[in-house]
Amino acid sequence: MPKLKTKSAVKKRFRLTGTGKVRANVAYKRHGLSKRPQQMKRQARGTFVLTAADAVIVKKFMPYA
């Protein structure tokens, strides 16, 4: 069997935790932040864990992770 390729977009955007959950960056933090509420900017710091349904989709694109 040939090796499976990992999606380059998934490599850049997601990573796995030690228990196999998928971590992602929070959206809407790139530009136009002056119009966003301070509470939203605080809560969007760091990363978050994807839901199980979304994690299944992402894991299909990272076969060896």
Structure tokens at 31: 């530009």
In this prediction, residue 2 has a pLDDT band, given cuts at 50, 70 and 90, of very high
Q: Report pLDDT digits (tens) over 17-64.
A: 999 999 999 999 999 999 999 999 999 999 999 999 999 999 999 999
CA distances from 55 to 25, 47, 50 (A): 14, 14, 6
Q: Distance from CA of residue 65 to its chain's centroid?
A: 14
Give pLDDT, residue 65: 84
Give pLDDT, residue 17: 96
CA-based nearest residue to 61, from 3, 19, 5, 1? 5
Q: E strands along 9-61, which residues?
A: 14-16, 22-25, 47-49
Query: Distance (Å, rounded) from C-alpha 25 to C-alpha 9?
Result: 13
- Domains for the chain: give ranges and CATH numbers: 8-27+35-60 (4.10.410.60)
